[in-house]
Amino acid sequence: MSQRLNYIDVVLWLLRIGIIGIVLWGTFAKLFLGVGNDYSVGNWIDFFISGLSQGSLYALIALGYTMVYGVLFMINFAHGEFFMAGAMTTTVLVALPLEEAGYINEFPFLSLLAIFITAMLVSVGVALLTERIAYRPLRRAPRLVPLITAIGASFFWQYFFRGLYGSSLVPFPEFDIFDGKYDFGFFDIQKTDVVVLGMSLLMLVGLQLLVQHTKMGLAIRAVAEDKDAATLMGIDVDRTITMTFAVGAAMAGVAGVLFAIVFRQLNFIMGFTPGIKAFTAAVVGGIGSIPGAAIGGLFLGIIEAVGPPLFLEGLGIPGSHQLKDVIAFTMLVLVLIFRPQGIIGEVLSEKKA
């Protein structure tokens, strides 16, 4: 669309130059002028690895956004709540009773299996209910309508689970096998970070195989491409959409348990911020694309972890670690403004523009 007014372009260019200038100046000041704290190489690696582990969590959650967007072109605002529902339920109903019975450290792997499976089942259940009630009847409605019901569903689930399990923080039990760290000389890695990274990688690869090499994956891709043509090919579109929600929610359930393992404090509001961040990750990577979600998640996690000590501290901003959410949200807005198709997603956004 041609624009008669160019002042928007001027503003956008100023914004671009401003942001790049800020980041470059902050980095320069940090690295060469020595503003702020002095970090060793080991510190930087620590930041990087914690960012990587956080980012892989974002990636797992982002898969749900990206898959649903891929087939329905809707932002499933309630996805963060699927994540919370699985983590909360499995912690309260499985993990804590297991801990009380002493099974957690006696049979750690079986306990973990039970915890993961419960989380996935609950997340999937919540997701399917949401899809059935709040999204499916509105599939032909204008695009803003399902966004509004998604916001409604998000609030509903938050306060539903608050009613169920109360508003106080729920502790996740401590696993002995995750205690401690691997020492690499000048830096070390928390065992929990290794678990998160490994598990996320496993799920990502599994999902990629599922989508690329199974009948179900083929159906999902066909529906994402063209619903009507898929129907003509004998694909049950409703069922495929349901499966898409289920797969995305299962990933969110896994991410919820990993989140619980790392942060060990859960409450009903825990899905909101990771949800928004994961959506950012999905957009950054290119919404609709599974590898994009993975790349976007890792990228966001690393920027969030390295950004505050690097360029924000370099600018001499006090309490820069408080601003990591600002970095994430700024990235969200910037990507939406300048590159809505994300890093690798191109085809989809063209189609939907």
Partner 1 sequence: MTQLENFKHSIQMGLITGAIVLSACLIGIVESFDQRDVISEILSLGQVMLYIAAPIIAFIVAQKQKSVVNRVIHGVLSGAVAAVPTFLLILLSLWWTSIRDAFVNVSPALIEIITVQNPEAPVIGGLTLIALFAGLSLIGIGATFLSKPIRQALMNGLGWTMIVGLMTEILVNVLRPRLSRETMDWLFGRSGINLTPALILVVGLTLYYYWWAQGGKEQSAKFRENLPPPVRTWGGRTLWLLLVPIVMILPSFLGVYLTEILNIVGLYILMGLGLNIAVGLAGLLDLGYVTNFAVGAYLMAIFTSSSEYGLTDPFSFWTALPICILAAMFTGFIFALPVLRMRGDYLAIATMGFGEIIRVLARSDAMAWLIGGAQGILEIPKASIGGSMASIFGSILSPINNFLAQWDLFILQVDGGQIIFGKPPQLFYLVILACLLMLFVSRRLNESATGRRWMAIREDEDVAAAMGINTTNAKVVAFTLSAASGGLAGAIFAAKLGSIYPTSFQLLISINVLSLIIVGGIGSLPGVVVGALALIGIPELLREFAEFRLLFYGVALIVMMLVRPEGLWPSEAQRRELSSDHGNLSQPNATGV
User: What is the contact surface with partner 1 in residues (CB under 8 A)?
Assistant: 1, 3-5, 7-8, 11-12, 15, 74-75, 92-93, 96, 133-134, 137-138, 141, 143-149, 151-160, 162-166, 276, 279, 283, 317-320, 322-323, 325-326, 329-330, 332-333, 336-337, 340
Nearer to partner 1, 11 or 33 (CB): 11
Give the C-alpha separation, 66 to 289, whole Å: 6
> Least distance to partner 1 from the beta carbon of 90, Å?
11
CA distance 141 to 353: 17
Q: Based on CB atoms, which residue is closest to partner 1, 235 or 275?
A: 275
Q: How far is the CB of 199 from partner 1 (least distance, A)?
A: 26
Q: Taking the alpha carbons of 345, 140, 227, 123 in that order, is the dihedral positive or negative?
A: positive
Instruction: Check the CA dihedral 160-163-168-173 and report its sign.
Output: negative
User: 148 and 133 in contact (C-beta within 8 Å)?
Assistant: no
- Least Å distance, CB 20 to partner 1, is 15
Residue 152 or 291 having the CB closest to partner 1: 152
Choice between 121 and 147, CB closer to partner 1: 147
Q: How far is the CB of 118 from partner 1 (least distance, A)?
A: 13
For residue 251, the tally of other CB atoms under 10 A from its CB is 29
The minimum distance between CB 109 and partner 1, in angstroms, equals 24
Burial of residue 154 (CB within 10 Å: 0-12, 13-18, 19+) is buried
Residue among 332, 244, 235, 331 at smallest CA distance from 290: 244
Q: Which is nearer to partner 1, 189 or 248 (CB)?
A: 248
Query: Burial, 294: exposed, middle or buried (Cβ in 10 Å; 0-12, 13-18, 19+)?
Result: buried
